[in-house]
Structure formats: structure tokens, C-alpha cells
């Protein structure tokens, strides 16, 4: 049995494709977080939905806060913004502060840092609302300049 060089080229090409392609069909280990829908393995789909629902809930708040100013609006904004910012910063940190880039320890520290930032932000905003003019009034003052 014999083969031409052309066959050989095809064979080589097929080998190359087989080696470089991501193996999506590989069997997933039992500890995987992939949800096949059949089993109720905890994943981030609920978190994803909650994040979007929170953002949708914030949509009417922003135009309202342009017209209505006061302590209630400040409180609503503080709660809405703090959680939205927490999830946002969480996503950003998980995207960029990766173990491959900055090392395992630094990545862990960055992930803890997200909660520190959220805590400080909430404390700062609550302090501003109670001991200072509050968010909406602050915007009013800046736009009166």
C-alpha cells in the first residue's frame, strides 16, 4: 500500500487541527461547575440573573433622582449603587487580577480587596448622607455652579 505526498499533507493537517483545537468534548470531572441542566449543581446563573435584575431595577431610579432630591432618594441610591458597584468591581477584579498575571497570593488579596472597597464605599456614602448634604443635594449644588 502506498500514499502520495498530497495524502501525507492532508494527514499532517488533520493531526495539527486535532492537536490545536480546544477539546470541548472531553469528559468533565464530577467536581466541575458546569451545569448540564439535568443536575442541580450550584453555578453562577442565578447570580448573573440577579445582577441584571438589580440593574433593571436601577433604571427608573436614575431619572427619578434627577427630579426628586432628599434623604429617601439618597438612601435608595446608596443601596442601589453600592451593590451594583460591588458586582461591577468584582467582575473587573476577577477579569484582570488573575493568578496567572499577578500570582496566586496577590489575586486572593485583590478578591478580598473587593469587599473592603464595597465596605468603605457604603460607609462613605452613609456618612455623606447623614453628616453632609447627601448625594442628590450634592449634585444639585455642583450643577448650580
Partner 1 sequence: MINIPTSILCRLGARSAISRSFGTSVITKDSCEMLEKKSLKTESCRLKYADPARAKDTQKSIIRIVSEAKTPIQKFGWEYLVKQRGMKRPIAPHLTIYQPQLTWMLSGFHRISGCVMAGTLLVGGLGFAVLPLDFTTFVEYIRGWNLPCAVTAVFKYIIAFPIIFHTLNGIRFLGFDLAKGVDNIGQVYKSGWLVFGVSAVIALAIVINSCQNKSKAVKTA
The contact set with partner 1 (CB under 8 A) reads: 1-5, 7-8, 11-12, 15, 19, 22-24, 26, 28, 31-34, 52, 55-56, 59, 62, 66, 81, 85, 88-89, 92, 98-101, 104, 117, 120-121, 123-125, 127-128, 131-133, 138, 141-145
Q: For 7-50, give the DSSP string.
A: HHHHHHHHHHHHHHS--TTSPPPTT-----SSS----SHHHHHH
Q: Is 66 annotated as a binding residue?
A: no
Rg of the chain over CA atoms, in angstroms? Answer: 26
- Residue 19 or 40: the one with the smaller Cβ distance to partner 1 is 19
Q: Give least dist CB 72 to partner 1, A.
A: 19
How many CA atoms does the CB half-sphere of 38 hold within 13 Å? Answer: 1
Angle (CA) 36 37 40, round 5° = 100
Q: Is 84 annotated as a binding residue?
A: yes
Q: List binding-site positions for a ubiquinone.
A: 96
Q: List binding-site positions for heme b.
A: 84
Amino acid at each position: 500500500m502506498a500514499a502520495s505526498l498530497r495524502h501525507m499533507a492532508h494527514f499532517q493537517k488533520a493531526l495539527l487541527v486535532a492537536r490545536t483545537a480546544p477539546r470541548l468534548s472531553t469528559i468533565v470531572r464530577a467536581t466541575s461547575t458546569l451545569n448540564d441542566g439535568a443536575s442541580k449543581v450550584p453555578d453562577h446563573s442565578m447570580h448573573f440573573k440577579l445582577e441584571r435584575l438589580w440593574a433593571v431595577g436601577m433604571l427608573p431610579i436614575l431619572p427619578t433622582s434627577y427630579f426628586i432630591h432628599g434623604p429617601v432618594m439618597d438612601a435608595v441610591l446608596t443601596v442601589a449603587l453600592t451593590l451594583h458597584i460591588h458586582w461591577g468591581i468584582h467582575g473587573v477584579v476577577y477579569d484582570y487580577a488573575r493568578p496567572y498575571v499577578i500570582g496566586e497570593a496577590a489575586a486572593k488579596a485583590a478578591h478580598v480587596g473587593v469587599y473592603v472597597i464595597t465596605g468603605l464605599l457604603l460607609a462613605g456614602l452613609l456618612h455623606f448622607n447623614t453628616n453632609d448634604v447627601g448625594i442628590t443635594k450634592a449634585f444639585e449644588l455642583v450643577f448650580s455652579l
